[in-house]
Structures are given as C-alpha cells and as structure tokens.
Amino acid sequence: MDFRYIGKSGLRVSSICMGTMTFGSSTSKEEAFRIMDKAYDRGINFFDTAELYPVPPKANTAGITEDWVGDWLQTKDRDSIILATKVAGAASGWFVPPIRHGLTAIDSFHIKKAVEGSLKKLKTDYIDLYQMHWPDAVVPIEESMKAFDELIKEGKVRYLGTSNDSAYGLTKANEVSKYNNLARFESIQNNFSLLNPRFHDELANVCEKENISLLPYSPIAGGVLSGKYNNGLYPENCRFTSYITNKNPRVQAMAHRFVNDKTIEATKRYMVLAKEYGISPVTLAVAYSKHFYFVASTIIGARELGQLDESLAAFDFKIDDELMKKIEEIQKDILYPMG
C-alpha cells in the first residue's frame, strides 16, 4: 500500500480515498456499507464526505451521507480511519445550498453550526480533515480562518483544507493564517483528471512551493473517461443523462462541460491507449490522477460495488515516462477538453 502525507500535517493517507457523495441518492445504505467495507479491506484508510451530501443536493436528503458514514464508522476502529468532511460553501457562490435555509456562509456562526452537525451525524468526537466546500466571496477570509483555527484548539478538528479554490484563494488564506498565527489549509480538493489538467497551470506550483497537497476529485470525469458516453450514448441512471435534460441551465452547462465533442474524442484516444497497456480506461484515469508529486490521495467514487475494481486496480499500475509522453501528446492535440 502506498501512503502519503497531506501537506505538512500528520495525516498519513492511502493514495486512493473513498468518496461517498452518492450514498443516500443513487446508492442504498446496504450497498454503501459494502463499498466502504471493500475499500477498507483493500487498504484504503481515507474517507471523504460533506454535510451537503448526497448529490444532487436536496433539502430533504442533505446529511444522509454523513449519517450513514457515521453508522459505518461504528463497525471499525475509529483511529484506523482518516475522516474528511466539509462545511457547505457560501450561498454567495455558484449555487445556494439547500441547508440552513439557504443562508450559508463561511463565517464563524456557520462553521461552528456545521461542524457540530457533522460530529453528531458522523458519531465521532473529532474530524481529521475539515474542508471548506467552496470559497466565500463576501466574508473576509480572516474571519473564516480564525473560526477554523478555533475548531482545532477545541480538539474537534485536526487539520484544515479547502476545495474548489483558486491559486489566489489558497495563497491568500494561508498568508492570512501565517501572519495571524492560525492553522492553515494543508490541502485543496479540486477537479483534476485526464480531461481537466488545469491544476498544472498554476495551482501545482503553489502546492509545490508551499507543501500543500491536492486531493483530486472526479478522476474519471464523472464517468466520462469510462467511455460510457461515447458514440452518442446517454445510458439510463447515469449522472449526465439526467443533467442534460434538467431544466436548470447551470446543471445543463455542467453536463455540456463534461460531455462534449472534445471530451468524447479525447476519451476515445485514452481508451485506445489503455487497451495498448492492457488496462481499463478507468484504471488509467485513476493512475494518472494519483501520479503527481503534488497529489496526496485521489478521491474515487462508486454507485455500486462492482464499479470499485477498476479504480482499485490503479494501486498496482504505475505510469512510466513513455506512457506519460503519450498522454501529453493527446493533451496537446486536444487542449482542455472541459474548458
């Protein structure tokens, strides 16, 4: 098993993390337990959730995922697991979260309210990595970092991370922490995959210089890199099949970002490359995501148990220089498929 440290923290995590965002929507509790058990038995010690899960976010389902993860935790030695969760981002952001009456903010009140709720649902007295789900464009980051720091002093949280953040946002937050003697963000959880390598543009440099770890999510681009959307297909019960017909223009925009001519053509070429190396395109995608020096652990997901095997196979597959050169040729020919 390959273990890595998150940032400058004492969190020693498996290079693959088990994501849980479908637990409570497209995944039943029984199946969720089977998925987490298999991941744990395979050596995964890092599990990621959020107060807003499952997705798609709804007022009547928010919190179910944490509750189920909490029930599952009771079957394991708590100290054998690195547990991450998130406070919902600000309502001033890209959408209004359907929790706390749509008034969420990354201020002292909401951070404390969120962590108390998460601790209760997760049935634990501490969270190993507490993350901001997305930034707040209104509340000063000084207030946010002071509130996060208090959680560490109270022993409710061990370390901090951010998510869906920019190079400026990450750097600004950590400079504020530095000059105010506060705990900093040790990680950033952003979208990163064969189809979305933009993290290389600037954030990778920040992570290298400041010793901050990326925790990539969506390494198979929401399932697109499996090839299931190729040849004009929109399979039933798949995320972007439902998104493409959603009346919400923002949801439709997300579907087109993930499923478009460039992503489909790039996926086609990655599938040929994976076949050449005798592996699944999913295995190739996960192996790519966990390959880089700035990555501590790649977050995978599964709606059902059978989907785990191809992702877990990435534990045993390493990308060599020759393969990386072939990947980079595809990325050069089809620049930024996801925009």
Cβ atoms within 10 Å, residue 316: 10
How far, CA to CA in Å, does 82 sit from each of 18, 120, 147?
11, 17, 22
Cα 80 from Cα 76, distance rounded (Å): 8
- Tokens of residue 27, six digits: 């995944």
Q: Give the number of other Cβ atoms within 10 Å of residue 125's Cβ.
A: 9
| Integer Cα distance of 135 and 162 in angstroms | 8
Q: Which of 53, 130, 217, 270 is catalytic?
A: 53
- For residue 317, report the phi and psi dihedrals to the nearest 5 degrees: -120, 125
CA distance 85 to 17: 12
Burial 73-89 (b: 16+ CB within 10 A, else e): beeeeeeebbbbbbbbb
Catalytic annotation on 130? no
- Where residue 221 falls (left for φ over 0; alpha for ψ -120 to 50; beta otherwise) is left
Nearest to 4 by CA among 295, 212, 204: 295
Within 8 A by CB and 6+ apart from 120, the residues are none
Instruction: Give catalytic residues, as residue numbers.
Output: 53
